[in-house]
Structure 1
Amino acid sequence: MKIFCTGASGYIGGSVAATLAANGHQVTGLVRSAEKADDVRAFGIAPVMGTLDNAQILASAARAADVVVNAASADHKGAVVALLDALAGSGKAFIHTSGSSIVGTRAKGERSDDIFDEDTPITPSPARVARVELNHFILGAHDRDCRPVIICPSLIYGIGHGAGRDSVQVPLLINLAKKRGNAAHAGPGENIWSNVHIDDLVQLYVYAIEKAPAGAFYFAENGENSMREACESVNRILGYAGPPSALTMQEAAAEWGEGTAEDTMASNSRVRAKRARAELGWLPQARGLTEEIERGCYRE
């Protein structure tokens, strides 16, 4: 198949695009610069120069493809509109990447017992209202004779397969631990995130391209951990004795930025990938988060 992927030099999009190219598909990927173009060529991906603001470039690349994978931004409505307009009437698949912070609340490191699957109603935080509205807009495009599908990953970990190698949260924790000489979490660190290995997530994209029905929404997770548990694993691989320390929210915002501190590092996002397992036969097999930190790629 011919597949166009935005975010082709990034962590998710790069991993998906490189895997699809390795599987024999003809993959084109949106990149911003000549340097990024060289990066994706190394993985068998033909670069398309442009940005998410270039509607004509996006539309042209989408019309030339059999499948579009949008993995550059969960929130860029202009790009979504351009891609869906180009695919209208074609019956082609549009695989969009969201993120499970849509169910998160600003918990300041405290635990929440709320757990969501694809059938659970969501009342998003103010920071995620627009993303949830965009998701509804995308899924409604099945009325336009195309095949919109949303994949909604939780915390992703592991080394990427393509030009983008690093995830977000775990490297943030490791880098801060190295800076301070001890791992640190926001608040008490009791907040919990579901998580998924990049290898398993990529396989979900492959399945979604092959057989997901129009209008499908899939959470992606294979377990969950508190931020304190992740920090304890970071301390073990770095050889730091004692428990992780607690940052005030002001300290966390100074380290990571307010949005990342409040909506990612100190929030809860507990989801269950019920539909992907039942409908697509998705069976995650990679190491769990703390095992990957302590025994896998993060030890290097």
Structure 2
Amino acid sequence: MNIFITGAGGFIGGSIATGLVRAGHHVRGLVRRPELADALQRLGIEPVVGDLDDRALLIGEAKAADAVINAASSDHRDAVEALIEGLAGSGKPLLHTSGSSIVGDASGGEGTEAIYYEDRLPEPTADKAARVAIDRLVLDAANRGIRSAVLCNTLIYGHGKVPGAESVQLPRLLRQAKKSGVVRHVGSGGNIWSNVHIDDVVELYRLALEKTPAGTFYFVESGEASFRDMTTAMADVLGMGKPQDWPLDEAKQEWGYEMASYGLGSNSRVRGQRARELLGWKPQRRSVIDWIRNEMV
């Protein structure tokens, strides 16, 4: 297939694009920074220099491709609308990348028993309403002749394929620890996130391109862990003693409101069965704690 993917210079998009090239597909990858073009070419990805605000470019690439993956932003509605316009009536796949902070509770680092399922989603918080509206827009595109799907990733761990690109959550904890000499988590660290290894994410996107029914929402997860358990493993590896609690307001000063409240200070416990049942996805990596202890640093 000829595949167009946004965010090809990033952690998720670059890893997916590289995996699809290895699977025999031809991939054109949107990248904002021209200096990343050479890195993409070395990975076998044909670079397209541009950004999500270039509506004409996105429509043109979508029309020319056999399939489109949006891995650049979960929150850029104009870009999603342009990709849908380019694909309307074609029957081609559109895979949109969302994130499971859509069910985040901004608990300040405290735990919860609440678990969410693909067919029983809560109403989003005000902070996440716009993202959920975009997810629904993509799913509704099934009514416009597009084989659309939303892949809602949880905490992703592992190393990416594009040099310098990294995941969102764990690297921030690691950088703070190295800077301060103290591993910290928001609040008590009792908050829990579902998680998944990047290699398993890549395989799921490959399967979804081939098999997904139109209008399908997937949670992408293969396990879960509390932030306290993750920071404890990190502290052991770094030789920094026990991790410390960090009040939310202080964490916001380090990471900002969004990251401290949702990315690192919320619960996001989900269960994803559709990828396994509909696509035959079989994740191979099941323990983020093992990865932190053996591979992260």
TM-score normalised by length of structure 2: 0.98
Contact 2:9/2:165, CA 8 A, preserved across alignment: no
Instruction: Give the letter for the 2:259 counterpart.
Output: T
Residues in 2 aligned to 1:167 and 1:219: alpha-carbon distance in whole angstroms: 18
Residues in 2 aligned to 1:276 and 1:27: alpha-carbon distance in whole angstroms: 23
Deviation at 1:180, TM superposition (A): 2.2
Stretches of structure 2 that go unaligned for 5 or more consecutive residues are none
What is residue 204 of structure 1 aligned with on the other side?
204
Spell out, residue by residue over 1:252-292, the C-alpha distance to the aligned partner (whole angstroms, 9 max, x if none): 01111111101111100000111111111111112511100
Corresponding residue SS for 1:219: strand
* 2:274 matches 1:262: no
List structure 1 runs of 4+ shifted beyond 6 angstroms. Answer: none
What is residue 149 of structure 2 aligned with on the other side?
149
Deviation at 1:163, TM superposition (A): 4.5
Residues in 2 aligned to 1:221 and 1:164: alpha-carbon distance in whole angstroms: 24
What is residue 74 of structure 2 aligned with on the other side?
74
Corresponding residue SS for 1:9: coil
Corresponding residue SS for 2:117: coil
Corresponding residue SS for 2:271: coil
Deviation at 1:162, TM superposition (A): 3.3
Corresponding residue SS for 1:178: helix
Spell out, residue by residue over 1:176-195, the C-alpha distance to the aligned partner (whole angstroms, 9 max, x if none): 11222221011111000000
Deviation at 1:47, TM superposition (A): 1.0
* 2:273 matches 1:274: yes
What is residue 167 of structure 1 aligned with on the other side?
167
Residues in 2 aligned to 1:94 and 1:66: alpha-carbon distance in whole angstroms: 10
Over the aligned positions, Cα root-mean-square deviation in angstroms equals: 1.0
Contact 2:149/2:212, CA 8 A, preserved across alignment: yes
Instruction: Give the letter for the 2:274 counterpart.
Output: R
Alignment of 1:75-154 (within 5 A): 75-154=75-154
Deviation at 1:165, TM superposition (A): 3.5
Deviation at 1:121, TM superposition (A): 2.8
Instruction: Give the letter for the 1:265 counterpart.
Output: L
Spell out, residue by residue over 1:99-131, the C-alpha distance to the aligned partner (whole angstroms, 9 max, x if none): 000011110011111101101131111110011
Instruction: Give the letter for the 2:289 counterpart.
Output: T
Deviation at 1:161, TM superposition (A): 2.4
Contact 1:15/1:164, CA 8 A, preserved across alignment: no
Corresponding residue SS for 1:98: strand
Instruction: Give the letter for the 2:257 counterpart.
Output: E
Instruction: Give the letter for the 2:29 counterpart.
Output: G
Corresponding residue SS for 2:278: helix
Contact 2:106/2:262, CA 8 A, preserved across alignment: yes
Instruction: Give the letter for the 1:289 counterpart.
Output: V
Percent identity over paired residues: 49
Stretches of structure 1 that go unaligned for 5 or more consecutive residues are none
Contact 1:17/1:162, CA 8 A, preserved across alignment: no
Contact 2:223/2:286, CA 8 A, preserved across alignment: no
Contact 1:4/1:68, CA 8 A, preserved across alignment: yes
What is residue 186 of structure 2 aligned with on the other side?
186
Instruction: Give the letter for the 2:254 counterpart.
Output: E
Contact 2:228/2:243, CA 8 A, preserved across alignment: yes
Corresponding residue SS for 1:48: strand
TM-score normalised by length of structure 1: 0.97
What is residue 7 of structure 1 aligned with on the other side?
7
Instruction: Give the letter for the 1:56 counterpart.
Output: A
Spell out, residue by residue over 1:13-40, the C-alpha distance to the aligned partner (whole angstroms, 9 max, x if none): 0000011112211100111122021121
